[in-house]
Amino acid sequence: MVGFAHSPHVDQTFGTTNGVEMLMPCFAKLYAELGISRTDIDFWCSGSSDYLAGRAFSFISAIDSIGAVPPIHESHVEMDAAWALYEAWVKIASGEVELALAYGFGKPSAGNMDLTLALQTDPYTVAPLWPDAKSLAALQARAGIDSGAWTEADMAAVAARTSGISVDELLATPRTADPLRAHDSSRYTDGAAAVILASEDRARELVANPAWITGWDHRIDSPNFGARDLTESPSTRLAGDTALRDAGWGDDRAVDIAELYAPFTHQEIIIRNELRLPDSVRINPSGGALAANPMFSAGLERIGFAAAAIIAGEANTAIAHATSGPLLQQNMVVALSGDDTAKGEH
């Protein structure tokens, strides 16, 4: 990874739901920083949601931010753009391209985000009930509290690290969806983000200290909520174990930073436990999704922030996590290293 840019995290932005107005400044920033032009990109891949945009094939409209002439090589995933980045990585790993750009965008302010996310659930047994995302997360949080897996104070401690407000003060606030309080839920924002990947030789030409991808994996749990223990995330554990094994780290989880995509405080506890991260690891130095949750680019941002810390020399090792789907259904883990600690194949 050689470049990362994101739009401002705002409650509402002007412009259309196809993200063009948010994406173009991100692309321009990356071109300028790396000294490249649009036509240097060999492959483009985007992540977004037509349901959220309110239009069919909204990702095609987003290509206005790229320009289709001369002809481009482009693809799309209907989910968080972290998975678009994975597709771009596969393209480079296969030797087909040397420089790829993955981007994501979403505009929750255009509609009711919590209800829109109900369309990700089972279309026969769950979606017809229109369960909003916060209510589903509340059921998960309650299951964890009742099982003894965590407490409301544990959840507040996650928010306290991000907000700077004490745990006692947070626990004194009213519940919004029992047992969730306002600080337990992420703040949806309009937003877009982009990450540039390069082959090894190309990366060394573009930046002094690329963030090398040493391990990458993603797994899926059942979409049937009744078929899995909501207080655990086996797919996160398996993805993490596989990615870190490929990175050559084994059981050594003492990385410098971990960027975890946790839209709710209790989900950070689940992810952290499944990845078995020691207390020495700095969790979400960017602020994480609790500070700002730009839909369909928040997972890409977690990877981008982790890579940016390595590129800037602020960290040598990092783990990045992304999730997509309801209640941590799909999970991705990426292991990143600076040049002096990279192991295995780039």
Tokens of 209: 């200290």
117 with 151, same domain? yes
For residue 345, the model assigns a pLDDT of 44
Burial of 163 (0-12, 13-18, 19+ CB in 10 A): middle
Q: Residue 314: enclosing H or E segment and its boundaries?
A: none
Q: Does pTM surpass 0.75?
A: yes
250 with 262, same domain? yes
Burial of 67 (0-12, 13-18, 19+ CB in 10 A): exposed
Structural domain total, the chain: 3
Sign of the CA dihedral with 145 first, then 149, 153, and 159 last: negative
For residue 342, the model assigns a pLDDT of 55
The answer to whether position 345 is within a domain reads no
CB 201 within 8 A of CB 30: no
CATH code where residue 21 lies: 3.40.47.10
User: Residue 50's pLDDT band (boundaries 50, 70, 90)?
Assistant: confident
pLDDT of 340 over the 60 cut? no
The answer to whether position 344 is within a domain reads no
Distance CA 238, CA 220 (A): 10
For residue 250, the model assigns a pLDDT of 77
User: Residue 344's pLDDT band (boundaries 50, 70, 90)?
Assistant: very low
In which residue are the tokens 């029992």 written? 178
144 with 273, same domain? no
201 with 290, same domain? no
pLDDT of 334 over the 90 cut? yes
Strand order in the sheet with 74-77: 3-6, 191-198, 99-106, 43-47, 74-77
The answer to whether position 91 is within a domain reads yes
Segment 15-34, tens digit of pLDDT: 788 888 999 999 999 999 99
Closest CA to 297 of 161, 107, 153: 107
User: Residue 115's pLDDT band (boundaries 50, 70, 90)?
Assistant: confident
CB 255 within 8 A of CB 281: yes
Mean pLDDT of the 244-255 span: 88
Distance CA 126, CA 107 (A): 24
177 with 256, same domain? no
Burial of 274 (0-12, 13-18, 19+ CB in 10 A): buried
Per the DSSP assignment, residues forming a β-bridge with 181 are 175
The answer to whether position 73 is within a domain reads yes
Q: CB count, 10 Å around CB of 187?
A: 15
Tokens of 72: 């481009």
163 with 84, same domain? no
pLDDT of 68 over the 90 cut? no
Distance CA 322, CA 314 (A): 21
239 CA to centre of own chain: 14
Segment 139-181, tens digit of pLDDT: 999 999 999 999 999 999 999 998 999 999 999 999 999 999 9
Q: Residue 233: enclosing H or E segment and its boundaries?
A: none
169 with 66, same domain? no
The answer to whether position 342 is within a domain reads no
202 with 297, same domain? no
Burial of 20 (0-12, 13-18, 19+ CB in 10 A): middle
The answer to whether position 119 is within a domain reads yes
20 with 69, same domain? yes
The answer to whether position 343 is within a domain reads no
Question: In the chain, what percentage of residues exceed pLDDT 90?
Answer: 81
Segment 190-230, tens digit of pLDDT: 999 999 999 999 999 999 999 999 999 999 999 899 899 99
103 with 118, same domain? no
* Torsion angles phi and psi, residue 111, rounded to 5: -160, -160
Three-state SS letters, 118-129: HHHCCCCCCHHH
194 with 234, same domain? no
Residue 48 is part of which domain span? 3-111+187-206
The answer to whether position 326 is within a domain reads yes
Which residues make Cβ contacts (< 8 Å) with residue 196, sequence separation at least 6?
Answer: 1, 2, 3, 4, 30, 34, 41, 99, 100, 101
In which residue are the tokens 């992810």 written? 271
Three-state SS letters, 206-228: HCCCCCEEEEEEEEECCCCHHHC
77 with 200, same domain? yes
Closest CA to 247 of 274, 269, 275, 220: 275
Distance CA 157, CA 173 (A): 14
For residue 17, the model assigns a pLDDT of 83
For residue 71, the model assigns a pLDDT of 87
